[in-house]
Structure 1
Amino acid sequence: MFNIEAEWISLLIVGFATLFLVGEILVNAKGIFSILGLGFITVYFSSFLDVGMFFVMILIYFIGLLLIVIDGKVLNDGTLAVIGTVLMIVSVGFASPNWLAGTYAVLGVLIGGISSLFFLKVFKKRNMWTKMTLFDQLTDEAGYSSINQTYKSLVGKTGMTQTDMRPIGTVIIEDQEYSAITQGKWLKKDTEIKVESVDGTRILVKERS
């Protein structure tokens, strides 16, 4: 059993745990990040909980991580990722001995998760959330000039949503299907839309007024 005396240390321990565990999801760190993250989160939970509650709370924490992985690999709409983040926050919050330590722990989850995005600039990223973020943008430099010009010609045109936009979905413009994204707004299927802008193959649409 470990002993955390200062509440603010919860911020560091949970922050590093989430940083490395989410980092392992985002980039290929060959398991090193997962080992570090597991070590930090084990220290946190074992500092405040008996054996029974330790396994319950750490299970909830890792279910949250699993939901994030499923969202990134399968759904790509962010719903399970949000639920997973909430589960992680709940687990560290309820495991804390008082509200101050719990607040620091919750901040650790949020700060660690956000900070893990910096790993994308250094390490090889995994194939996660490709539909939501539309990473595979085609550029003129990559030899896709004709495709780019076709996409750019869509600006200002109208069409209809083929699927629900959450905020990613499929639209039909001039009898052609395209993957598109809204500015965070969810639209139902069969909603009339207008193309606002195009960046590579990233088509930004809005509901036609």
Structure 2
Amino acid sequence: MTVFEMEWIGILITGFATLFLIGEVLVNMRGLFGLLGIGFITVYFGAYVETSSIIIMLIIYFVGLLLIIIDGKLLNDGTLATIGLASMLTAVALPSPSFTSGLYAVLGVLLGGGSSLLFLKVFKRREMWNKITLKDQLTKEAGYNSMNETYEGLVGEEGITLTDLRPVGTIRIHRKDYSAISNGQWIEKDTAIKVVQVDGTRILVEKIN
């Protein structure tokens, strides 16, 4: 029995292939991980696929990997990543000589992809991921600050309660509705109120006498 006839060998080959290929995308290893990953996946397809079909299976596998990268770098909604993962799993499952071997190969891709995240704790991540993270942080901070400025501008404004404040309820100021809280008072619906304090998105109001 050769090593490739062992059903469990697929989990090692596809696992290391995916581990190093995704690892190369995440951290800057100057192509070393990429070469190792390509080597492992080529060995896998070379062992189970006819020579004429190796290129096709490699394309399916790497297109899947590319879709995951595009999703992570540009879209971040998971759609392309899901399609890409399905493509990679299909590529390693189809050539397997048996159902069990296919399951091992699929499991290898999943374990390898998940384990590649550990490289981020050891090696320097690629600059493109740092830029994406920074951009997301700046976007969120900008949105949060913009919301704070809008709410802070309500201090001193007058409006009306749309519901009873017990002490939390809904108010309307300049045709816009907000959630607000009174200072321990029960303020009835359709009562004139004034914003006295804003803390983040917490609006404190009092009844206008």
TM over 0.5: yes
**Partner of 1:128 in structure 2?**
129
1:6-50 Cα shifts (integer Å, max 9, x gaps): 110100010000000011111111100000000100111000111
Tell me which protein shows more helix as a share of its residues.
Answer: 2
Alignment of 1:1-209 (within 5 A): 4-126=4-126, 127-128=128-129, 174=151
Q: Which amino acid aligns with 1:20?
A: F
Q: Which amino acid aligns with 2:20?
A: F
**Partner of 1:181 in structure 2?**
none
Deviation at 1:74, TM superposition (A): 1.6
Deviation at 1:55, TM superposition (A): 1.2
1:64-100 Cα shifts (integer Å, max 9, x gaps): 0111121122212221111111100000000111101
State how far apart, in whole Å, the 1-side matches of 2:93 and 2:37 are: 17
* Local SS of the residue matching 1:28: coil
Change over 3 Å in CA distance of 1:98–1:136 after alignment to 2: same
State how far apart, in whole Å, the 1-side matches of 2:101 and 2:135 are: 38
* Local SS of the residue matching 1:95: coil
1:97-147 Cα shifts (integer Å, max 9, x gaps): 11011000000000000000000111111223966x678758xxxxxxxx7
Q: Which has the larger radius of gyration?
A: 2
CA contact (8 A) 2:21 2:33 kept: yes
So what's the TM-score if we normalise by structure 2?
A: 0.62
Which ranges of structure 2 fall in alignment gaps of 5 or more residues?
153-176, 180-209
RMSD, matched Cα? 3.3
CA contact (8 A) 2:3 2:9 kept: no
Aligned length: 150
Change over 3 Å in CA distance of 1:130–1:72 after alignment to 2: farther
Change over 3 Å in CA distance of 1:47–1:78 after alignment to 2: same
Give the % identical residues. Answer: 55
So what's the TM-score if we normalise by structure 1?
A: 0.62
State how far apart, in whole Å, the 1-side matches of 2:85 and 2:130 are: 16
